[in-house]
Copies of this chain bind each other. A is one copy, B any other.
Amino acid sequence: MSTDASIIKKSRGRPKVFDREAALDKAMALFWQHGYEATSMAHLVEATGAKAPTLYAEFTNKEGLFRAVLDHYIARFAEKHEACLFCEDRTLEEALEDYLFTVAKRFTDKDTPSGCFIICTSSVLAAASDDIAATIKARHAMQEETLVRFLELRQQKGELPADSDARALAKYLCCIIQGMSVSSRENASYEDLLSIVKTTLRLWPELKKG
């Protein structure tokens, strides 16, 4: 990872500071809204307000910028959501509730486009963007792995029956989260998502038997 701001030397006057974090935020919003393919370097230059050579020097190309944005999203949001699951002093149910409520809040936050950045950008990708598609899918697969890890830890603590299928449960929870991302993209409110979360939590005693 690089530092927050790189100093670009100009021939005259004060050196201009390139605010990497601010540029990543702007680029993230653009990819999030339009997807990878429909976002061009020209759009990114315009949105970030940076000069094209600066963006190329910093990120090499659109693919490099996208990968930096993905890391930025994970550090800024995904890792924080996932931390909810590994809070030792919460029960399985409390931790899951906390996680799903945080996700619902994130998906409907007005400061960023709706839904999950990773789910939104993975949904329309061409064969031509195979590398990017693989990167997004790999990162998205980590969500399932994180949930499996969470459920297996709780299984060791006796909070989940020993014969529960942690993988199948994680896949089901991922399916719900993906569905919430799509709904929020279609203007579902925080309350709409909360209702989905509450139903899932209500079903949990039955669900975990599976």
Contacts and interface: CB of A to CB of B under 8 A. Distances in A.
A184 to B, nearest CB: 10
Contacts of A207: 199, 203
Interface stretch (A12-20, A73-81, A119-127, A154-162): A119-127
A45 interface: no
Interface stretch (A31-39, A62-70, A93-101): A31-39
Interface stretch (A3-11, A51-59, A82-90, A171-179): A171-179
The A contact surface, by secondary structure, is helix
A177 B179 CA distance: 7
Counted per complex, copies of this chain come to 2
B171 A178 contact: no
A181 interface: yes
Q: How extensive is the interface on chain A, given as a class?
A: 35 or more
Contact of A183 (B178, B183, B195): B178
A174 B185 contact: no
A121 B185 CA distance: 11
A190 B134 CA distance: 20
A130 interface: no
Interface in A139-182: 140-141, 168, 171-172, 174-182
Contact of A176 (B124, B125, B179, B192): B179
Interface in A180-210: 180-183, 185-187, 192, 195-196, 199, 202-203, 206-207, 210
B38 A185 contact: no
Contact of A33 (B38, B126, B187, B203): B126
